[in-house]
Amino acid sequence: MATAGGSAAGSAGAHASFTSDLGYLLGTVLRTYLKATDAVVEEIPGGARGFQVVSAAVSGVTESQAGLAQRLGIDRTVMTYLLYDLENAGLVTRQPDPADRRNRHVVPTKDGRDLHDTLSEKLHAVEEHVLAALEPHERTTLRVLLHRLAGQHPVGPDSLHAACEVVTDLAGGVSKAPPPRRRPKARSSK
Amino acid sequence: MATAGGSAAGSAGAHASFTSDLGYLLGTVLRTYLKATDAVVEEIPGGARGFQVVSAAVSGVTESQAGLAQRLGIDRTVMTYLLYDLENAGLVTRQPDPADRRNRHVVPTKDGRDLHDTLSEKLHAVEEHVLAALEPHERTTLRVLLHRLAGQHPVGPDSLHAACEVVTDLAGGVSKAPPPRRRPKARSSK
DNA sequence: TATTGTTATACTCTATAACTATA
DNA sequence: TATAGTTATAGAGTATAACAATA
């Protein structure tokens, strides 16, 4: 067999082990993470994804549903069902944007904020467990590097303030229910 | 509004921004990676997943199909269809394990190795592009940290040698076709 | 009996397209 | 006309269960 001759890897040798494949590494770690956090996020509709939506709402990222969907990497049609479940669970509300009534801002309720804080603490503990193989400073490094790659400009209190303004504004004069909002077909969370 | 009073984040303040959520970070980066590499891996059945299988085979990880599936985080029934497509494309072969004829070792063909080397180079270039926001030493750090979290013991030439032994062994005396291997129903890659 | 691989079926998730309301 | 959101339908992906072969 000619290929089994000289070089160990069979050919060029320029390729590293498949365990260096970034997609493999990210996928494996993410899988471990999701498995570990599954028990925590199962009490919120949509699981980890539902938590991220509520988390974004709590953080004051009150973009339109489409903007939120894009940021979280899910389809806007999926976002509709997801928000329906979250709203039904009393965790968020959909407030029409007074400036552009086509848009809807996702605003967390008190229950939503409370649940988010609770789950956030639990998740942080689980995360540390997932990152147990790393030293504390290495965990920080990993977060910083990933954060940089994710290309996120940290969300400050400004957007949060804007969100609260919307809520306050709507509390005064309630406008007529914008779209009909019928109940979707069969899309229960579990 | 009581919650909008002192602390900016609304409540305890112990929770970080949702952009610090490890699941969100990993998911976002992985999504970016998959989108960037999509064009490269579309020429192999199963896409990124198919590449990982071939890559594992080239690296000499010739565990059983089930072991391979577990390592790659996919179902063993999916692995059957995936390997069917890869074998049909002439990239790998399924060799029954002489020691335990229930198992099948996944061995790459020459075409499989060649395609893997080609794609591997392209993927490495794309990866560097995805990691463009990081300095060279930071990219290395990220890979090392992820590699540690993935809990992989690097695969050396030992297992590769074992794989070649299986091939050589089978080249001599071909045993009767172990299971029937009928064609699956409708499961084309695209 | 337990395990590997295969096959078929059922289920879940996601994407595509059509519709309404608003700009 | 273009966009946000909703809804239904179709499609892809995944898991569940039953089977044959081997240990």
Find chain A residues with C-beta within 8 A of B63's C-beta: none
Task: List bases in chain C with any atom under 7 Å of a protein Cβ.
Answer: 3-9, 14-17, 20-23
In a domain, A4, yes or no: no
Rounded to whole angstroms, the Cα distance separating A119 from A123 reads 6
pLDDT of residue A151: 83
Residue A62 located in a structural domain: yes
Closest CA to A154 of B162, B19, B122: B19
Q: What is the pLDDT of residue B133?
A: 97
* Residue whose pair of structure tokens reads 């894009």 in the numeric block: A70
The pLDDT of residue A63: 84
List the single protein residue with the shortest CA to C1' distance from D7: A184
Question: Would you state the structure tokens that stand for residue B59, as one six-digit string?
Answer: 């690296």
- Residue A75: Cβ within 10 Å count: 12
Instruction: Determine how β-strand B92-96 pairs with β-strand B104-108.
Output: antiparallel
Matching residue, tokens 């944007």: A97
- pLDDT of A176 higher than 80: no
Instruction: Confirm whether any atom of chain C, the nucleic acid strand, is less than 7 Å from CB of A100.
Output: yes
In a domain, B165, yes or no: no
What pLDDT was estimated at residue A57? 94
Contact A150 B73 (CB under 8 A): no
Distance of CA B115 to the CA centre of its chain: 15
**Is residue B99 situated within a structural domain?**
yes
Do A91 and A111 meet the contact criterion of CB atoms below 8 Å apart?
Answer: yes
Between residues A173 and B141, which one has the greater pLDDT? B141
DSSP, collapsed to helix, strand or coil, labels residue B107 as strand
Q: Could you tell me the sign of the dihedral formed by the alpha carbons of A165, A168, A172, A177, in that order? A: positive
* Residue A33 touches partner B, C-beta closer than 8 Å: yes
Instruction: Classify each residue of B1-26 as buried b or exposed e, where b means 16 or more C-beta atoms within 10 Å of its C-beta.
Output: eeeeeeeebbeeeebebbbbbbbbbb
Look at residue A184 and tell me if it is in a domain: no
- Please tell me the predicted confidence (pLDDT) of residue B165: 30
Check whether A87 has a pLDDT greater than 80.
yes
Predicted confidence at residue A106, as pLDDT, reads 96
For residue A6, pLDDT beyond 50? no
Asked whether residue A184, judged by its CB, lies under 7 Å from any atom of the DNA or RNA strand D, the reply is: yes
pLDDT along chain B (190 residues), means of 10: 34 55 96 94 95 95 90 95 96 95 96 97 96 97 96 38 30 31 39
Bases in strand D with any atom closer than 7 Å to a protein CB: 3-9, 13-17, 21-23
Size of interface A-B (CB pairs under 8 A): 204
pLDDT in tens, A39-84: 999 999 999 999 999 999 999 887 899 999 999 999 999 999 999 9
**Bridge pairing between strands A104-108 and A92-96:** antiparallel
pLDDT greater at residue B40 or residue A188: B40
Question: Do B59 and A130 make contact, defined as CB atoms within 8 angstroms?
Answer: no
DSSP-derived secondary structure letter, A6: S
User: Has residue A121 been placed in a domain?
Assistant: yes
The CATH number assigned to the domain holding B47 equals: 1.10.10.10
pLDDT computed for residue B18 by the predictor:
72
CA–CA separation, A44 and B101 (whole Å): 46
Number of domains in chain A: 1
**Closest CB to A138 among B120, B145, B152:** B145
Tell me what pLDDT residue A138 has.
97
Specify whether the CB–CB gap between B90 and B111 falls below 8 A. yes
- A190 in a domain, yes or no? no
Mean pLDDT of the region A92-105 = 95
pTM of the predicted model over 0.75: yes
Q: Which of residues 52-71 of B touch A (CB under 8 A)?
A: 52, 55-56, 58-59, 61
Handedness of CA B33, A126, A83, B17 (dihedral sign): negative
Assigned token pair, A3? 């290929």
pLDDT given for residue B61 in this prediction: 86
pLDDT of residue B152: 55
Q: Is the pLDDT of residue A144 over 90?
A: yes
Residue B16: per-residue pLDDT: 56
**What's the pLDDT at B154?**
32
Task: State chain A's mean pLDDT as an integer.
Answer: 77
Dihedral-angle region of residue A97 (phi above 0 means left; psi in -120 to 50 means alpha; beta otherwise): beta
User: Cα A130 vs. chain centroid, distance in angstroms?
Assistant: 18
Protein-to-nucleotide distance from the CA of A186 to the C1' of C10, whole angstroms: 16
Minimal-distance CA residue of chain A relative to B114: A11
pLDDT of residue B187: 41
Strands B92-96 and A104-108: unpaired
Answer whether B146's CB lies under 8 Å from A25's CB: yes
Domain that holds residue A120: 21-133
Residue B148 lies in a domain: no
